[in-house]
Structure formats: C-alpha cells, structure tokens
C-alpha cells in the first residue's frame, strides 16, 4: 500500500520550495530590476540566479532562453508599469492636461525622493534592443502605441476649440510621449529631476486647458 504523503514529503526535501508561481514572479522581478539598472546585455543569467535565489534549472524551466525572459519582462513588467504610471492616471484625470502634468510631477517627485534617476524602463530597453532584434522592437512598439493611444483618446474626449481633429490628437499624444521619454533621458544622464519639471512646464503651454 502506498504511503499517501510521500509526494509532499519528497517535495520539501532540502530547501526546495516547489512554488512555481512564486519562483516565476521572483525571476521576473529580479530580471526587470537588473535590466533596468544595468541593461540587458550587461546582465548575466547567473546574476539573476544569484540575486533572485533561483538555480539554473528553475530559471531554464520557466524561461528557456534569455530572450524569452527579456520578452516576458517587457510584457509582464514593463507594460504593466506603463499602464499603471501613465495610462490609468491619464484616463481617470479630470482633463488630459491635468492628468499628464500630474504624471510628470509625480514621477519627478519620486525621483527626488529616491535620490537617483533610473530612467524609464521602456526607453532604456528600447534604446538597447530595438535595433538589434525585431521581436523586442515589436513588443516595445506595442507598448509605445498603447501609451500614445491612451493619451490621444483622452485628448479627443476634451471639448476643444477649433480645428483639432483626430490627427492632431494623435500627433499631440505622440509628442507627449516623446517629450516625456526625452526629458527622462536628460534627467537620467544629468541625474537631475529638474529637467523633467522644466520640460513639463513647456509642454503645458501646448496642451489644451486653462493654461
């Protein structure tokens, strides 16, 4: 007669956890942090194993290649981050102008509180990877597009004055994303959140609103 608890006992042999969801989460979090801090190529799989307390077997089980891990980070960590910090706030703001400026301000405040400017995760990876690999490029372009579309949609919902059609909303939304991305690049290279605020003030003049 088989002992019914054998499996469970075996599972806890040594220090194995056998919690695939948690393991996968830890790998993604560790990788996302490392890719953001050091970049994709400068991060070795071994570092992720060490920092995330996972062994090669576990890592390979969840992500067969580094590229697969990179794509998962983009889709499951970077995209939600953009959604959370940009799309949701802009959608729920009173006006597009108010929402956009509030995001700039909140991010600038975050940077100052943290004392260091890590840059935008999407842009960091986009610059490093989008030329070299088209799968990465496509994944990141999808995020940029969703980001821009969310802003454009919010802009279109405004009761605006004359002559601002759909094309204007798209172009303006693109410009908002571009301004933010570039301002973040400047802030990161200068380690100075002030550049983000200076850019926000200029952008404000362009956005429809009470000025």
Partner DNA sequence: ACAGGCGGGACTTCCCGTTTAT
Partner DNA sequence: ATAAACGGGAAGTCCCGCCTGT
Q: Which of DNA, a copy of itself, none binds 156 (CB below 5-8 Å, type-dependent)?
A: none
Whether the Cβ atoms of residue 100 and residue 176 lie closer than 8 Å to each other? yes
The stretches of 13-55 forming alpha helices (DSSP H) are: 20-38, 45-51
DSSP state of 131: T
Say how many residues touch a copy of itself, by CB under 8 A.
Answer: 54
**Residues found in the chain:** 211
Q: Per CB under 8 A, does 209 bind a copy of itself?
A: no
Whether the Cβ atoms of residue 147 and residue 87 lie closer than 8 Å to each other? yes
The nearer residue to a copy of itself, 99 or 119, going by C-beta atoms, is 119
107 to 61, 72, 130, 195: CA distances (angstroms): 36, 25, 25, 12
Count H helices, E strands: the chain?
12, 0
Q: Per CB under 8 A, does 114 bind a copy of itself?
A: no
Site pattern 57..96 for a copy of itself (x: CB under 8 A): --------x-x-----------------------------
Q: Which of a copy of itself, DNA, none binds 137 (CB below 5-8 Å, type-dependent)?
A: a copy of itself
Footprint on this chain of a copy of itself (rule: CB under 8 A): 1, 3, 37-39, 41-42, 65, 67, 118-119, 123-124, 126-133, 136-137, 140-141, 144-145, 170-172, 174-175, 177-186, 188-191, 195, 198-199, 201-203, 205-206
């Amino acid at each position: 007669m088989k002992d019914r608890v054998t499996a469970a006992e075996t599972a806890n042999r040594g220090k194995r956890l056998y919690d695939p969801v948690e393991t996968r989460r830890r790998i993604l979090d560790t990788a996302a942090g490392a890719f953001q801090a050091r970049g994709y190529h400068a991060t070795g799989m071994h570092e992720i194993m060490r920092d995330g307390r996972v062994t090669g077997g576990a890592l390979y089980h969840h992500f067969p290649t580094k590229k697969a891990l990179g794509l998962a980070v983009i889709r499951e960590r970077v995209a939600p981050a953009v959604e959370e910090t940009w799309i949701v706030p802009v959608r729920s703001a009173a006006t597009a102008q108010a929402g956009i400026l509030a995001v700039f301000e909140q991010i600038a405040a975050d940077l100052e509180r943290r004392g260091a400017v890590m840059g935008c995760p999407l842009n960091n990876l986009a610059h490093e990877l989008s030329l070299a690999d088209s799968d990465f490029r496509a994944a990141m372009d999808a995020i940029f597009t969703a980001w821009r579309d969310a802003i454009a949609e919010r802009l279109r919902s405004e009761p605006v004055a004359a002559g601002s059609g759909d094309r204007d909303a798209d172009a303006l939304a693109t410009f908002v994303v571009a301004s933010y991305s570039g301002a973040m690049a400047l802030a990161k290279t200068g380690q100075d959140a002030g550049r983000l605020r200076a850019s926000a003030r200029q952008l404000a003049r362009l956005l429809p609103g009470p000025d």
